[in-house]
Copies of this chain bind each other. A is one copy, B any other.
Amino acid sequence: MVKTDMETPATTLAWRRRASRDARRTEIFRSLGLALRERGLASLTMQAIADRLGMTKGNLYYYFKNKQDLLYGCHLACMRLSLRALGDVRRSTEPPGTRLSQVLTRHIRAITDEVYGAVLLTDLESLTPAQRKRYVAMRDRFERGVRQIIREGIERGEFRKVDPRLAGFAILGAINWIPKWYNPKGELSSAEIADAFADFLVTALEV
C-alpha cells in the first residue's frame, strides 16, 4: 500500500492537533518564564501569565490542570534539555574538560534562552510529592552526570583533586543563579555568558 501525503505524520489531523497543543503549552512556559524574570515570583499568578499571551486565565486550565502542574511542566521541560546535553556528551570521546564545557554551555543556554529556566528560582515545595520526587530524580541524574565527568577528569589527571560533590554544587549553583541577574537586553548575550561561564568554571577545575 502506498503512503499518501495525507497519511504521513506531519499532516495527520491528530498529529497537527497535538503539535499545536504542544506549541501552545510551550508558549505558556515562556510566558511564565518572562513573568518570573521581569516581575519576580510575586507576579507569578495565573492571571499574569495569561495576560501576557492575550488569553484568559480560564483558558490556561484547558492546558494545565492547575498551577502546580504548570510549574511542574516548566521544570521538566527545562531539565529535559539539560539531560539531553548530558546524554549527547556521553557518546563523545572528547576529554572531560571539553565535555564538561559542552554540557555547561548547553545547560546555561537552556536556562537563559528558553526563558522558563527561570523556574529554577521557584521552590520545589509548590509541587506535589510525586512531582517533586520525579523532578528531583531527574535533577539528581543530571548532577551525577556532571560529577561523573569531574571524577573522570581527576582520574585522568586533567582536573585538580577536588571533592566532586562540592565542586558540582558550586558549579551548578553558579549557573542556576544566573536567572537572578541575567538581563536579555543587557550588554552580554546569553551566548557570551554561556561561553564565559563554561570557560571559567572548567578552567577552575583544571591543572
Contacts and interface: CB of A to CB of B under 8 A. Distances in A.
Q: Tell me whether chain A's interface is mostly helix, strand or loop, or mixed.
A: helix
Interface string A158-181: 001011001101111111111011
Interface in A178-207: 178, 180-181, 193, 196-197, 200-201, 203-205, 207
Contact of A123 (B40, B125, B170): B40
A201 B170 contact: yes
A42 interface: yes
Given A173-B173, A180-B173, A207-B207, A123 B121 contact: yes
A196 B165 CA distance: 11
Nearest to A39: B125
Contacts of A163: 196
A41 interface: yes
Contacts of A207: 207
B166 A200 contact: yes
A176 B205 CA distance: 20
Contact-residue size bin, chain A (C-beta under 8 Å from the other chain): 35 or more
A46 B168 CA distance: 35
Most buried by B among A43, A125, A175: A125
Contacts of A162: 200
A173 B196 CA distance: 15
Contacts of A138: none
A146 to B, nearest CB: 14
A40 B125 contact: yes
B181 A174 contact: no
16 contacts: A39-B125, A40-B123, A42-B123, A42-B125, A121-B123, A166-B193, A166-B196, A169-B174, A170-B174, A170-B200, A170-B201, A171-B174, A173-B177, A174-B174, A177-B177, A203-B204
Given A40-B126, A166-B193, A203-B204, 5 more contacts: A40-B123, A121-B123, A167-B200, A171-B174, A204-B205
